[in-house]
Structure 1
Amino acid sequence: MIARTRGLPGNFRAPRSLRKQLLAVSLLILSGLLILIGVLQYVLMRNFIYSNRAEAMETQIRSVPYDFFNLPGEVNGTGNRHPGDRRPLLLDAHTTIAIYSPDGSFRDLQEETLSASPAPRMSSAEYIRLLKLTPDKSTGDYRLITAGDGREHLAVFMKLGRPGAARMLLQMSVETGPLKDVILRQLLIYGALSVAALLAGLLLYLPALRKTLIPLSNMGKSAQIIDAGNLNVRFPVEQGQLEIDQLSQSFNGMLERLEISFQNEREAKEQMRRFAADASHELRTPLTSIYGFLEVLLRGAADNREQLYSALNSMHGEARRINKLVEDLLLLARMDGAPQLRVKHVLLDELIEEMRPQLLVLAGERNVLFDLSGGIRCLVDPDQIKQVLLNLFHNAVQHTDAEHGSIHISLHVHGEAAELTVKDNGSGISAEHLPHVFDRFYRSDSSRTRKYGGSGLGLSITQAIAEAHQGEITVSSPPGEGACFKVSLPVCRIS
């Protein structure tokens, strides 16, 4: 449902285009400003014209001879002229002069001024108040008076009379109609110019607005083609508008996080699928073997003591294999969640020396070299670190020759880390298999074929333990030089 514009008639619907909305709002604001300017111009111009006319009328009054205002019959035989002897005072046809006496008489000098209309008259109380308030000097003050015919007059007042005598109030007024006509013409000119300015602004603003909104349109086009299948698309940046560029960068950051999240989810699903398939395969092999031996026994082999013991020993071996696989899976599950380590400060060289007899037994006829730096103390779980060394050493034993094989174990400090290295002179690992050696159930039949039926989880467990100790494990295998596994652990201090 389209929202209605607030403050506009109910049947008016706001345009849905942002360009049209901005244009409409801009024109409305500009129109409101022009109307406000017009009102202020009218008020200021009206006051300015009225004040100028009032000052001109005061000046005009003071230029009239004083004897022109003598009342008739007042000075006969004294040398003063009678009213009939006075020349008419030539004023504007809309200008009137009148005199108010303190006795309440009001004399309109329409005949003497040849005015086209009679002078407007106020109440006696107003004139008496003005007699008290009107100063002797010109001030430019004026009053608006409505005449009997409904016309508005602009009037100025001045005291008339000699010092010590009764003072009269002289009123000079002019119709405001001609003055308003001047103001109206100015307003019409202003209105025409305002309309022309609005039209010119409309013609100039449309192309500028269209160009301004191009970056936003580009973002809209980019957003339309983005979905879960192509999250690598990015919004255009550096389009020349700071706010749009910041918005594009924010959206690009969000898309990058979404892309990483979707990629991790896909990888996790694929890893889970592969893990389930590999675990099923690893479990199926010993279960199939046990099932086969049971069938043999049920068919009568159980009566033969030698065949019975042979089958039982084989099933026992397969059961141990299943048990080891399940234990490894449980250990990996604990490492993937929240691993619970029983850490304490351990001297790594002493820990390795404790394992020396067991490692020599596993090596058999192979040559084992130890290069250990003393005094390297780390905060680790000793049982887990022993399993790391045992897994790496067992892996080296499996892939070296029983008589001519050589395994080198070294422990040194590099920077802030203790590096435990297990290197062998076996067949090595080809380059295409190196990135996958720590994958669960990964097997390299061509270069690292297991000789003793391992499940393919030893190196995965080793990596999980190293990472649980805030360390890491890496592998390198130069052609013809065997394999080298390096475990880095944070060092507490060196004794």
Structure 2
Amino acid sequence: MPGLRPQRMPRRQPRALWTLQRRLVLTVVALLALVSITIGVVSVVILRASLIDRLDLQLASAVERSGTVLGIGDNDGDSFGDTPGNTYFGTPTADSILAGPAQPPGLLALVYDGSSITTGYTDDESGAIEELSAQQVRLLADQANQSATATVHLGGELGEYRVQAQTSRSGILYLVGLPVSGVAATAAQLALIITFVSLAGLVVVAVIAAWVVRLALRPLQRVTATATRVAQLPLDRGEVSLDDRVPVGDTDPRTEVGRVGAALNRMLDHVDLALEARQASERKVRQFVADASHELRTPLASIRGYSELTRRSGQQLPPDAIHALGRIESESVRMTGLVEDLLLLARLDEGRELEMEPVDLTMLLVDAVSDAHAAGPDHVWNLDLPDEPIEAIGDEPRLRQVITNLLANARVHTDAGSEVVVALKAVGDQAVMTVTDNGPGIPADLRSTLFERFARGDSSRFRGTGSTGLGLAIVAAVVAAHRGAVTVDSEPGRTRFRVELPLAAASRED
């Protein structure tokens, strides 16, 4: 219908994955439960069939005794009791059968002498003879025409009966039945016992299976622990000692876990070799950069000195020569800065110790902002400092270079008239310095590589300003050498660099 928006179907939450240990334990318990149920059902069925057979034998005996009471074998059909051993005389009725000798309790009888039907059953508790209802008589009458033993459900308190009908030679039809309630009770008791025993067995087996599976999976847990420790190592940078391996006992190729452990060890060997090759290559590159930077400092200083000396010699030079000397001097200055940056990064990569001493970050920011104001008077520079000075343990020239690089980055990559706010505060055991500007922001595709060396971009923030792409890389390297962290948060109209350094008090405690 117009104006109605289709409702979104809620997302289905992913099912929680079960651990291998839980799956194994539940599989064992489920199989045992299936076997227990099968055994229980078969046992109850067999027992019931056996008890029904025994009940049929009792019923056959009761039928034979009932025939004796009713005078089976009498040929005149008028009287009963002529058969030797028969003590009954009179009209045949159901009561005569129920009151006969050695009849079992709960016996049911029906007698049809051709003109009338008499029925009754013996009450199990009182032993008295009770009458059957009309509905129960009809059910028995339907079965009286069949000679085979059958089960009839009489309803009410009587329930199921096994009945058998016979006809005497004198033409009297009689039916005798025994209750099935005893068989059902015995079968139900057996089913209950099997249920309780099976449940107890399942609990015991679950506990034992959990213990056995946990014991069997310990080698796999050790392999997992080794892989987890290796995964936590900073393999992407620096020199890494990859000495962790799966224990020899868990590398048996005859077992599944052993094959996994052996494969993991082989993979770690290959990774270790690759890391060693990478570290050797990086070491050579750093050494080359350090040597080249060191060797380039002298000729660059000579080029700068001679160009400056020639320009200031007082001799009359053509304008083109003066311009060329000025360009040579400026480019030598820029190249000297690049060489100094490369040499600093090479020293930091080698892990050379910095000169750690208390540094007043408050005065450091005041001096750095003053220098930035002189270099960029077309920007608005603001300071947000605490009332009390904040000190950190570090190398003062290097920390000064961090602030200088961040301020130069904000000056170079923002338009004239932009505001730059430098703030300092203490948060816990960390000194937090922030440099915030309202420039165009950093493109999202450059943020992941912003602190890498020679990271540059073609955007409004990274235009052709002569940047070498090493300023922020030096910031990250120096801050990391001070056990600190540097992050950036940028969006159009706001960019904030955040530097965290340990306070002097916390550093002394460490």
Q: Which TM-score band applies after superposition, normalised by the shorter structure?
A: 0.3 to 0.5
| TM-score, length-scaled by structure 1 | 0.43
* Structure exhibiting the larger radius of gyration computed from Cα positions: 1
| TM-score, length-scaled by structure 2 | 0.42
